[in-house]
Amino acid sequence: MVAGCTGAIAKTITAPIDRIKVILQTQYSATAVLEGKRVPYKGIFDCIGVLSFWRGNLVNVVRYFPTQALNFSLNDYISKQLRKNAHAKYTKFISFASGGTAGAITTLVMYPLEYCQTRISADVGSDKKDINQKYYVKREFRGIYDCVSKTSKRGGIKAFYCGIGIAAMGMGFYRTLYFGLYDLVKRTLVPISKNSDEKLKLPILSGLIVAQCITIFASTFCYPFDTLGRRMMLEVAKGKNKQRFTSIIGAVKFIYTEGGIRSFYKGIFANYIKGFSGALILVLYDEITTHFYK
């Protein structure tokens, strides 16, 4: 609950950056771009004003609240179970294992909402009616219900899980580093008392700096997985006749031909800024849960 609430607030604050990141990642996968069409505005702002930057935020919050709650809860539970019978010299690695497992399981459970959030955020069409439809692109989805309805009709339940393998792998690696490195740094810097149940916690400022550095490192390492997963989501929506790749290997080869390694990192700097919310959640979760341990 604590992680879910802080995550929902953080996601709303960073929603504009999140949408910019998704658009940069997926801009060359849009069906409209492949057909030579163009959107009737020069940027996100011109679509429906400031609110354009929060398009897809509702589904993002709906997804992120249970995702963070499940991530942190599973991580704590798995960590406690592993520590019961773990040898002392292996305890420092437990958070890596519990974090990765929690991340992968959460992705498997929440992936359909991840799919909807990506499709809505990447939908850069317009609702404007006074445009020449021969050249301009009409918005595909009016909201989450419309996205679910249209996706179900086109590809059934299977369509919501396209790219889930690479996404679960990427999130597993990300949470391995996210939870594991943060816990390792805490255990290195914070003296451990004889009470094994004591909650370890860094000072707020130090915690934020450490968490931000870890978030940047983890996201840099795992970002190509995120790009692959989102590109797979958009590719499956085009229909078999327009798909340029149908497998992860095919996606890797195709994206690489677009611009080499850099193609896998489009939007990474926006992701670094957005990553502050992930760092904030780690620190706030520590602060609040430590209070309950007392």
Lowest model confidence (mean pLDDT) among 15-29, 159-173, 222-236: 15-29
**pLDDT number for residue 84:** 86
**pLDDT number for residue 292:** 63
Which CATH code is given to the segment(s) 2-293?
1.50.40.10
pLDDT in tens, 62-80: 887 888 889 999 999 999 9
**pLDDT number for residue 236:** 75
Burial 240-260 (b: 16+ CB within 10 A, else e): eeeeeeeebeebbebbeeeee
Higher pLDDT, 118 or 242: 118
The CA distance from 286 to 203, in Å, is 10
pLDDT in tens, 149-198: 988 888 888 889 988 999 999 999 999 999 999 999 988 887 654 444 45
128: left (phi over 0), alpha (psi -120 to 50) or beta: beta
Lowest model confidence (mean pLDDT) among 126-130, 146-150, 212-216: 126-130
Sign of CA dihedral 45, 47, 48, 52: negative
pLDDT > 90 in the chain, percent: 30
Pull the structure tokens for residue 261.
């390694």
**pLDDT number for residue 32:** 47
pLDDT, averaged across the chain: 80
The CA distance from 20 to 275, in Å, is 14
Higher pLDDT, 203 or 264: 264
